[in-house]
Structures are given as structure tokens and as C-alpha cells.
């Protein structure tokens, strides 16, 4: 009798130890040490049997759900870096791009027309080239000073820029008229092309004048200065190879430069500044009129240009 009681006591003791091991969280959490315990927990929670190094379904679903969030965070970070870069370096980059356009465009004609011409060109053409090149250099310098936070020097140099910008329209119109006389087109047949320099100088004058007026409002000032400088690139684009700028598409290239500013606003501020909303349509309207007067050559316009040529002869 005593032996039987001892056997039952030993049986219950072993059973109790097994139950204690089964309920132990440290052992049940390890699938490799107690696979039966892990399978039991998965079955009780409604999961499938997991074997080897395979993760539970709930863990895989959680990892899959976090992947889009990580991708979105990375995209947001990259977009933030792009916005910061454009905010800091866009206008300096645009000034360098304008310089590259001018150098590449005029490099195709400066040798034959200015440096090694078949007959000497008027002196004003040389002055025109120097002054307009100086404007591009000044635009780069001013953009670099703003980027370097040299605002005081930027404003001091801006006095010289205001004087130079005031000279450009008169010099541009005068050069166009002198060169028209130099080519001997006094009969009026080719005077219709004067609509192009007239339009460029008018657009530059309006944008530059507004930029000076709003010089204390940087968001207006820098956009207007960019538009004014882009207005001067039409002649450079017109000298690009035909394969790059076909026909009379040079004004479209000018507009593309300004559209880069629109794109910058959309990326950085997520809206288009009022300067572009009103300035770009007005520019395009002027370009359309100028090209119509050049290509169609209506008789009223030819009469006006003929009179201008007679007055300036």
C-alpha cells in the first residue's frame, strides 16, 4: 500500500514539473528549444504550423505593412533634400545656365560677325557685346552674393546693376537700328524683323523696372530679375544649330527657361508665384505679336518701321 502511494506521489510530482515547464514563458517563447510548445501556441491562436526559420504569419504581415511606410519616409526625405537644394541654389544655377546659353549660341557667329568679319562692323556692335556680356556676369555675381548671404554687398552692387540695366534697352534698340542701316535695308522689305529686338527690350524693361520697384521684396525681385535676364537670351537661342532649335522656335526656348522657375515654385512652395502667373502669359503674348509682325509683315507695321528707319538715317 505504501509502495503504491509512493508511486502515485512520484507520478504527480513529474506531471507537475512538466506542466510548470510548459507554462514557462521563457521556454515557450523559444521555438527551437520547445517546438511542441510553439506549435501549441500557434494552434491555440488560430495560426498555422511554423517550422524551421520561417516567421509566423502575423510577423510577416506586420513587416509587409511597415515596408510602404519606410518607402514613404525615404521619399519624403529625398523630396525634402530636393526642395532645400532648389531653395538654396536655383537662382545661382539659372544664372550659370543663362551664361552657358549665351556662350554656346553666340559662339556660332562671333567669329565671322565680330572677331574676324569680312568687313568691319560698326563700333556699337562691339560695345553691345561687352555691355550685354557684363550684364550676364553681374547676374551671376549677384546670385552668388545672395547665396553667400552677402546682402550688403549685393545691394551696393545693385546700384551699378540699376544703371547698367537702364542702359541695356537703349543700347539694344540703337544697335538693332544701326545694324539694320549697316545692312542697307532702307527699302522696308526686311525691316519687319525689328519687331524682335523691340519686343525683347520692351519685355526686359518692364520686368527690370518692376524688379527695381520691388527690390525690398526678395520673392518678387529675384523672379523678375530672372525673367528680365531670360528675355535677353532670344538672340542666343536663335543662333543655335537648326537641329537643336528649329525654325523660329527660339522664343519657346526662352519660355522654357522661365518654366524652370515655375517648376521650382511647384516643388519648393507647392504653388506658382504671382510673378510667373501674370508675367509669363504677358511675355508669351508679346512674343506671339512680335513673330506675327516679323513673319506676316503687315503693311501698317512696314510703314512704321520704314518711318523709323528714315528718322534714324
What pLDDT digit, counting tens, does each position of 42-56 carry?
Answer: 444 444 444 445 555
Q: Specify the pTM.
A: 0.75
Q: Are 106 and 239 in contact (CB under 8 A)?
A: yes
Q: What pLDDT, on a 0 to 100 scale, did the predictor assign at position 70?
A: 63
- The stretch 284-288 carries a mean pLDDT of 97
Q: What pLDDT, on a 0 to 100 scale, did the predictor assign at position 27?
A: 41
Question: Could you give the C-alpha distances from 132 to 149, 159, 171, 313, in angstroms and in order?
Answer: 26, 17, 9, 25
pLDDT digits (tens, 9 = 90+) for 3-20: 444 554 555 455 555 545
pLDDT digits (tens, 9 = 90+) for 243-269: 999 989 999 999 999 999 999 999 998
φ/ψ of residue 33, rounded to 5: -80, -35
- Say whether pLDDT at 38 is over 50: no
Query: How many CB atoms are located within 10 Å of the residue 283 CB?
Result: 22
- The stretch 99-111 carries a mean pLDDT of 95
Amino acid at each position: 500500500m505504501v509502495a503504491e502511494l509512493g508511486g502515485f506521489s512520484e507520478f504527480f510530482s513529474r506531471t507537475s514539473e512538466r506542466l510548470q515547464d510548459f507554462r514557462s514563458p521563457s521556454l515557450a517563447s523559444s521555438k527551437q528549444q520547445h517546438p511542441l510548445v510553439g506549435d501549441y501556441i500557434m494552434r491555440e491562436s488560430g495560426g498555422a504550423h511554423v517550422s524551421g526559420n520561417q516567421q509566423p504569419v502575423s510577423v510577416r504581415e506586420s513587416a509587409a505593412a511597415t515596408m510602404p511606410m519606410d518607402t514613404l519616409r525615404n521619399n519624403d526625405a529625398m523630396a525634402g533634400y530636393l526642395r532645400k537644394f532648389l531653395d538654396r541654389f536655383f537662382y545661382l544655377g539659372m544664372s550659370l545656365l543663362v551664361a552657358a546659353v549665351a556662350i554656346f549660341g553666340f559662339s556660332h557667329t562671333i567669329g565671322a560677325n565680330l572677331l574676324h568679319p569680312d568687313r568691319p562692323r560698326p563700333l556699337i556692335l562691339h560695345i553691345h557685346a561687352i555691355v550685354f556680356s557684363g550684364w550676364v556676369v553681374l547676374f551671376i555675381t549677384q546670385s552668388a552674393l545672395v547665396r553667400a548671404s552677402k546682402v550688403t554687398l549685393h545691394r551696393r552692387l545693385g546700384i551699378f546693376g540699376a544703371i547698367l540695366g537702364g542702359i541695356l534697352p537703349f543700347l539694344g534698340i540703337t544697335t538693332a537700328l544701326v545694324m539694320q542701316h549697316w545692312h542697307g535695308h532702307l527699302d522696308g522689305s526686311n525691316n519687319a524683323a525689328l519687331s524682335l529686338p523691340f519686343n525683347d527690350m520692351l519685355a526686359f524693361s518692364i520686368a527690370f523696372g518692376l524688379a527695381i520697384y520691388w527690390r525690398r521684396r526678395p520673392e518678387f525681385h529675384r523672379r523678375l530679375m530672372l525673367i528680365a535676364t531670360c528675355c535677353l537670351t532670344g538672340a542666343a537661342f536663335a543662333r543655335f544649330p537648326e537641329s537643336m532649335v528649329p525654325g523660329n522656335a527660339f522664343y519657346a526656348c526662352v519660355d522654357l527657361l522661365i518654366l524652370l522657375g515655375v517648376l521650382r515654385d511647384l516643388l519648393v512652395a507647392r504653388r506658382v508665384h504671382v510673378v510667373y502667373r501674370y508675367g509669363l502669359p504677358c511675355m508669351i503674348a508679346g512674343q506671339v505679336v512680335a513673330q506675327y509682325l516679323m513673319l506676316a509683315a503687315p503693311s501698317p507695321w512696314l510703314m512704321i518701321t520704314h518711318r523709323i528707319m528714315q528718322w534714324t538715317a
